[in-house]
Structure 1
Amino acid sequence: MITIKVALVTACGAKKENTPQPAGKLYKSSRIRHLYRRSKELGLPFYILSAKYGLVNADTVIEPYDKVMTPERAAELLPQVREVIKNFDLIIFYKGGARKEYRELIEKACKETGTRLISFGYGNMGDIRNLDKILEGALYGI
């Protein structure tokens, strides 16, 4: 049996709680909270691409912050994001609502590490319920 390492990733959100929290709970985004719950149900590692922290595991406690991803910040974060991504064979990136800088950063990091990337989703949580179908297709070639 072949085992592949898969991680679920999405971009951070603007609205946050006021106190340090695990990243998956810090953001008030229904998109992030839904993916955090689903990652737990599926047993998948879940990461959030943060303009401050880079690619952070959703269970890592982080401080609230106010920072937006810029092309310059994405370039600064690229080595850290590559370092995390290289531990996985497949990244499933929910891009719904993510700014271009987040999408380009994850694409570049995956390309540079040779990690397969599947991006899906569109604004207002469109397609978010298709995660299971996407995972099934990615893992079993369906």
Structure 2
Amino acid sequence: MTKQFYKAAKHNNRQTFRELFFQLHVKDQMESFHALYTKNKQKIEEFLTLDEFDKLFAWMSLEEQRELYEIFSSIYISQLLSHMEVDNVVRFLNDLSDVDTRILLDLFATDKRRMIEKLLAYEPEAAGSVMTKSF
């Protein structure tokens, strides 16, 4: 199955990729995704919906998420982040440069951007920055 999974990605076979991907446990999905070549990782933007990929993204370490920031388009990353809880978005943005953070913030809807900016104003480990604003 693993060989078929990588072939599907390589040959742009979205349907087979999706079928094989969703047969895997989340941990195996992450391992398989990380084993893809960069050009095949980029295909995730076309192969999986945001709702499907955000679950995997949320389980990734900050380092892994940062790697995806370098691979995926800013628009896709901002759409992905807009599906996440605000506190997780703030944690991710705190790990980026000010320029990269601003690029992504400018792509958010006004209400969510304001909420994120408010939390970003706190020091990264301050109580205000780590509290959840949504219930």
Normalising by structure 2, we get a TM-score of 0.33
Query: Which structure would you say has the larger RCO, counting Cα contacts within 8 Å and 6 or more residues apart?
Result: 1
Larger Rg: 2
Higher helix share: 2
Higher strand share: 1
Normalising by structure 1, we get a TM-score of 0.32
